[in-house]
Amino acid sequence: MKRLIAFDLDGTLAESKQPMEPAMGEALADLLGVADVAVISGGDWPQFEKQVATRLPERADLARLWLMPTTGTKLYTFGSGAWQARYAEIFADAEKRRIFEAFDAALLATGFVPETVWGERIEDRGSQITFSALGQEAPIDAKEKWDPDFAKRKVIQAELRQRLPGLSINMGGATSIDITREGVDKAYGLTKLSGASGVELGAMLFIGDAIFPGGNDYPAKALGLNTISVHNPEETLGIIGIIVACLK
């Protein structure tokens, strides 16, 4: 029987960088009544706070919720009335500069330089550097149209892998590419979660929208976890309902 249900965030629990809908918050509260829940994604803590932590109803059992920003290189749990960081792994300044330079060079080399950009394209999340092709503040409709089949990002990803050997480079969200230290992906984060939570990997189920080779959810499948692929939060809602009914 599964004891912990882990989710990707953008495209799975919520639209890209948007708060979860009230129905999703209620569904997660139901799920927390029968299992531990983890959310692991490339966003940093402020994004998790906006999208997840503040969108749950009062009845939700937060003691059973594990929030894992920046692909699991950070872990937050709830205790003494507040969310607290359990650990955080941070890039060195020299590593960050190397990554920033590689992003600029890769975009020029591939020719995928958007005409319109909303906000900063590169975000330093401490333990992860994230490239958002259209900028951090891009509207959802523009993001969904830019690279719906991941084709553009696969080309950029291949270029970055040549320029940044020794780092993990994975696609996520609607327009994003996440860079972490080598070996740091959702498999790494979920393995660390197993140690922190005491829940063995075989008792975990992972749900995400990028469970394909090169997608940032695929490492969970490669790790050997049971996984469920979804296309949007609406599908996730239906699956949560089924899981709650089964675990009850």
Question: Which residues are designated catalytic?
Answer: 8, 10
Is 217 annotated as contributing to ligand binding? no
Is 163 annotated as contributing to ligand binding? no
Please count the helices (runs of H) and the strands (runs of E) in the chain.
9, 11
Is 125 annotated as contributing to ligand binding? yes
Is 124 annotated as contributing to ligand binding? no
Residue 134: which residues within 8 A CB-CB, separation 6 or more?
114, 116, 117, 118, 121, 142, 143, 146, 175
CA angle 139, 181, 203 (to 5 degrees): 85
Question: Coil, strand or helix: which one is 162?
Answer: helix
For residues 156 and 158, what is the distance between their CA atoms, to the nearest angstrom?
5
Is 176 annotated as contributing to ligand binding? yes
Is 178 annotated as contributing to ligand binding? yes
Instruction: Give the annotated binding-site residues for alpha-D-mannose 1-phosphate.
Output: 125, 176, 178
Residues annotated within a binding site for Mg(2+) = 8, 10, 209
Q: Which residues are annotated as a binding site?
A: 8, 10, 125, 176, 178, 209
